[in-house]
Structure 1
């Protein structure tokens, strides 16, 4: 065999190895199961803020990682009516930009983390946020959805502030997104093939908010009393900022005087034509929030703020 032929076969072999591999249906099902159901083998009660607690929530994130590749995701061909519904949703610009900011902020905070296990988990979190942006970019490309030019993402001066804004934002938005996604699935607003394609991203958000809720509780216990006071004041400022943003008071004050609709998570059921009143929507969000988080170790803390608010509001709506 000539050296030229050997060299050519080597190139072909390298090209084949570099191609993203598509798992079989059985492999995909097993990967999906492992990403949704996880129990630590570490026995006994685990105290919040302990070394065991840190290992629990870091290992949860690392060991439930779904290695799907955006490059090999199947974007199903949609019927004209379904395509029109998807492309007309007013969420794609803000979704892409949100993930762009999120991956930047998570990676920035991860660089400050010195603990090896926590650093590894934070890098995984940021990498998954970056992958979400790629998935959304592939989706809008596949369906010809026009996007506004992306802004230059600015790193906040306070790196911790950016991480907290990202984490709490995900806790708010995911709570409503879980319910809206399920409602769109049940009504057929999203075609079944598209639901199946996008499902891993939704479950990934569940893992992220679970990780964040436990990190917050663990981090508080690592602070001295005077640093904890400063931290709680910062958290209060973050919540004030997020509430300000979502009720629309800040409209016209962001992105050079043009703020996108940050209220889609609250009004999305109306915008996508789902016939649910607020009480029914909250009930569905609560059920989906529980379903998506129930498969993980019961010793992990669950995000509680949005479920508590939803239950409180629901009581007044009855």
Structure 2
């Protein structure tokens, strides 16, 4: 098998997976646990960041890429995600779930390495990184990471497609970075199914406490994304956590908010389409986005 064929095979496996066992799967069952854990484990793409080829960019493309205000927060987000997932995995005794969580943590760490190679290849200067200590509350950190990825990935799917369509990123760069974007689709699919499985297996009194914690996580994420909890880097520069939701203009498009949400919805569905239909899909962010789209003002037509 040639290198190109091996890459194409790994890419296909990462995007298309169904368990060989037929029949319905009850949410919360042992079969459900095996389904979403095996999905993550068996769709792993073994690409190595050290051998990824970062293409030489034309001056205008180089300027567009390096001027994006996302690189510090992107690297730090992946660093925090990796230690949070790893810490949560360490408290899990179920072998298959522990294996899948370890895979998730390893892939998050690999994303950070990929971003590190990207910024080094293009001479992007980063602020000094903070330490990434293990979180004191492993479940809270895991929930914050999972729901945050559900928000950010939904908008990132659309923005990445928009950058590709508009020519903001050259095709070679899109092809190099594409596996990282699809990995995030796998991660949020795994997380959504873990939440449903975990919820079903809690006694009613613990389920109430868990639901209250989920509400608190969403409140925290909303607080963060409206700018109240905006990080400050070593130079005193605000790091905006809202780029995933506000970055349409930054990638060279005047697409209306309605059209951008429509693209995000379409890309989200496309990226989830190749996985076993019995797996639950993340629904909260797409549903909220679709609802918001209904209330956004429609763009004015020419001559209006």
Which bracket does the TM-score occupy, shorter chain normalised?
A: over 0.9
2:245 corresponding residue in structure 1: 266
Relative distance call for 1:271 and 1:160 in structure 2 (3 A) is: same
After TM superposition, the score normalised by the length of structure 2 is 0.95
Q: Which residue of 2 aligns with 1:275?
A: 254
Whole-Å separation in 2 of the counterparts to 1:124 and 1:302: 20
- The residue number in structure 2 matching 1:34 is 13
Give the alignment partner of residue 284 of structure 2, picking from 305, 308, 311: 305
Alignment deviations for residues 276-316 of structure 1 (CA, whole Å, 9 cap, x no partner)? 01000000000000000000000000000111011101112
Matching of residue 97 in structure 1 with residue 80 in structure 2: no
RMSD: 1.6
Is the 2:78–2:112 Cα contact (8 Å) retained in structure 1?
Answer: yes
Deviating 4+ runs (over 4 angstroms): 252-259
Unaligned runs of 5+ in 1: 1-21
Shift of residue 42 of structure 1? 1.3
CA distance in 2 between counterparts of 1:253 and 1:241 reads: 18
Residue 142 of structure 1 is matched in structure 2 by 121
Aligned counterpart, 2:189: 210
TM-score by length of 1: 0.90
Structure 1 residue 157, shift from structure 2 partner: 1.8
Which residue pairs with 1:6 in the alignment? none
User: Which of 200, 205, 208 is the matching residue for 2:179?
Assistant: 200
Tell me if the contact between 1:251 and 1:258 (Cα under 8 Å) persists in the aligned partners.
Answer: no
Distance in 1 between residues matched to 2:126 and 2:139, nearest whole Å: 30
**Structure 1 residues 283 and 104: CA distance shift in structure 2, 3 A:** same
Going from structure 1 to structure 2, the CA distance change for 1:70 and 1:287 (only over 3 Å counts) comes to same
Corresponding residue of 1:296: 275
State the aligned residue count: 297
Q: What pairs up with 1:1-318 in 2 under 5 angstroms?
A: 24-251=3-230, 259-317=238-296, 318=298
Mapped partners of 1:124, 1:23: distance in 2: 27
The structural deviation recorded for 1:271 is 2.0
| Counterpart contact for 1:107–1:123, Cα < 8 Å | yes
Is residue 49–residue 110 contact of structure 2 (8 Å, CA) maintained in 1?
yes
SS of equivalent residue, structure 2 residue 80: helix
Unmatched 5+ stretches in structure 2: 299-304
